Amino acid sequence: MIRRLTSCRFVLWHLALREIRVRYKQSVLGVAWALLVPTAMMLTFTLVFTHFAPVVQSLNTRMPYPLFVYLGLLPWMLFAQGLTQAANSLVANRSLVTKIYFPREVFPLSSILSALFDFAIASSVLIVLIVYYSLTLEAGVWTFTLTSSILWLPIILFVQLSLMAGLAMWLSMAHLFYRDVKYVLAVGLQIWMFLTNVIYPLPTSGTWGTVLTYVNPMTPIIGAYRSTLIHGQAPDPGPFLCATVLAAFLLASGHRAFRASEHRFAECV
């Protein structure tokens, strides 16, 4: 797969750039939407969970709740946006699929790269939040300390992108054959978010908490971002290892199935 993608890296890069341009074309705010959407969601959840339904006080998040929820929304929006665009990537590029031959993996993977652009832009708000709470909170409440655990960030991001790449190939191929997939995915992502530790910490004890921690790969991935950035700790080895193994399996199996079905793509678009 790496060899095939390397041979057409310029196509992959230009497809990703095209998606970014199309997304913000004729938009007044342009790439500022990459900042505004997660920030607005963070403010909404903060307002709801701290004022209208004050349950945050009972949650031991060990960090300011706006920072907690933004650190969940940031990787989750990368995940949801990348998969949503990737699922429709083959159908949206039907003219290229039927007329020009190059590795078809570039279509779902270019969608992930374009979502990664928004992720990088939105990360600037995270830096602002960390600086703000580091300066305003009293000592002992919460402080940010830069430790060597931050070196885990590229590994965590690589595991998440591998998970997304594997799912993207499965979903783009499935949506090409069955156009109901994008509707199922839209509903599934909404349910999946509430079964993940995006806006509240999942229980660490009990049957359901343990099952969701080990079965849902996004739970240890989001937890790993919080551990390395906020707590200065390495990711929880057991759940994160499970997420890594699952990501590797989905990437390998997705690519194999994608290659095996590639000859049928032109007749289905």
Run means of pLDDT, 10 residues per run, the chain, 269 residues: 73 81 74 81 80 56 81 94 90 76 84 92 90 76 79 95 94 88 91 87 65 82 91 88 95 90 72
Q: What is the largest CA-CA distance in the chain?
A: 64
Secondary structure in 3-state letters for 221-246: HHHHHHHHHHHCCCCCHHHHHHHHHH
Write down the domain spans for the chain.
Answer: 2-268
pLDDT of residue 260: 86
Indicate the burial class of 178 (C-beta count within 10 angstroms; 0-12, 13-18, 19 or more): exposed
Determine how many CB atoms are found less than 10 A away from the CB of residue 132. 13
Cβ-based neighbours of 102, under 8 Å, separated by 6 or more: 8, 11
130 vs 229: CA distance, rounded Å: 9
| Three-class secondary structure of residue 195 per DSSP | coil
pLDDT of residue 38: 83
pLDDT of residue 225: 94
pLDDT of residue 245: 95
230 vs 213: CA distance, rounded Å: 19
Can you read off the two tokens belonging to residue 36?
């505004």
**Alpha carbon separation from 63 to 73, 106, 133, 140, 172 (Å, rounded):** 15, 39, 9, 11, 38
pLDDT of residue 52: 56
Phi, psi (degrees; rounded to nearest 5) at 266: -60, -35
Can you read off the two tokens belonging to residue 198?
């995006």
**Alpha carbon separation from 90 to 77, 117, 178 (Å, rounded):** 21, 20, 12
pLDDT of residue 267: 66
168 vs 190: CA distance, rounded Å: 17
